[in-house]
Amino acid sequence: MVRKQRKTAHRPTSGTDDGHSVSTAGATEDLIWGINPVLEVLRSPDQGVHEVLVVQGKAGPRLQEIIDSARQRGIPLRFVPAERLGTPKNCRHQGVSARLAATTYLSLEALLATETGTTCPPPLLVLDCIQDPHNLGSILRSALAAGFSRIILPKERSAIISGTVAQSSAGAISHLQLCRVGNIAETLQQLKEQGYWVFGAVVDPGAHSLYTIDFPDATCLVIGGESKGIRPLVQKRCDQLITIPMAGSFNSLNAAVAAAIIMFEFVRRRLPGTAQP
């Protein structure tokens, strides 16, 4: 693929943003658990935390770090029996949970404004109908590691940012900029008008191999849902469909695994001295 330059148009104000959204899907949806996720939210000055709960009698240096951090931030701290952590049955809570303030979502306009002053716009990751919270959390964890810190999600047909997602992301959600939109296809069109090239990941031998793509500076990657992949209308808005070549007749990867492979291949192409296709 020849690297292309797209003319940058005036950025329109998006009518699909969700502003500041509060999850109402259940009593545990604002709860996170596990030492890593709780530590990460406590380290993030932008993340509101209502309270931290620690199982009575639990000890250890990392739990003590959580206790000290909560006290330093003036966050209510309670020591409770394990059954009062509020976590789902059989989850690996490691003796600690935290109740978060409402998840903050940026508008599309605000999300794009975070690139101001950069010579190369940071990449965007669009998740089209990732409904399994463990997959979503895993993708967000890989996204942060690969430098995809700006994430766009649909308002519907997507797992919400819950305790399960936070735990699976190992606290990555505290360092990501999240945006929820009403229409992914329309949003991709707006991104294209801003100069982004949109690449959709599909399971299709007729699509372009990931390893032959020369990603432009302004790249948007779209990952589809676990069962049906990217929806047809969303596919139509992609500039190019890409696929991960696989051996033999095996042609299916977990959405989180596929997302990680593609994002880190994007990163590899930007390493000094890396040969382009």
What is this structure's pTM? 0.70
Asked whether residue 221 is assigned to any structural domain, the reply reads yes
Percent of the chain with pLDDT strictly greater than 90? 52
For 153, the domain range is 108-269
pLDDT band at 20 (very low <50, low <70, confident <90, very high): very low
Task: Kindly state whether residues 202 and 176 are assigned to the same domain.
Answer: yes
* pLDDT tens digits for range 224-234: 988 889 999 99
CB neighbour class for 123 (10 Å; exposed up to 12, middle 13-18, buried from 19): buried
Task: Give the CATH number for residue 130.
Answer: 3.40.1280.10
Total number of domains in the chain: 2
- Give long-range contacts, CB 8 A cutoff, 24+ apart: 245-251: 245/209, 245/210, 245/211, 251/203, 251/205
In this structure, the answer to whether residues 143 and 261 fall within a common structural domain is yes
**Based on the domain organization, do 112 and 222 belong to the same domain?**
yes
Structure tokens at 50: 């209502």
Pairing of strands 96-100, 49-55: antiparallel
Give 136-175 pLDDT, tens digit per residue: 999 999 999 999 999 999 988 888 777 778 878 887 888 8
Rounded to 10 deg, the angle between the 35-43 and 61-72 helix axes is: 30
**pLDDT over threshold 60, residue 107:** yes
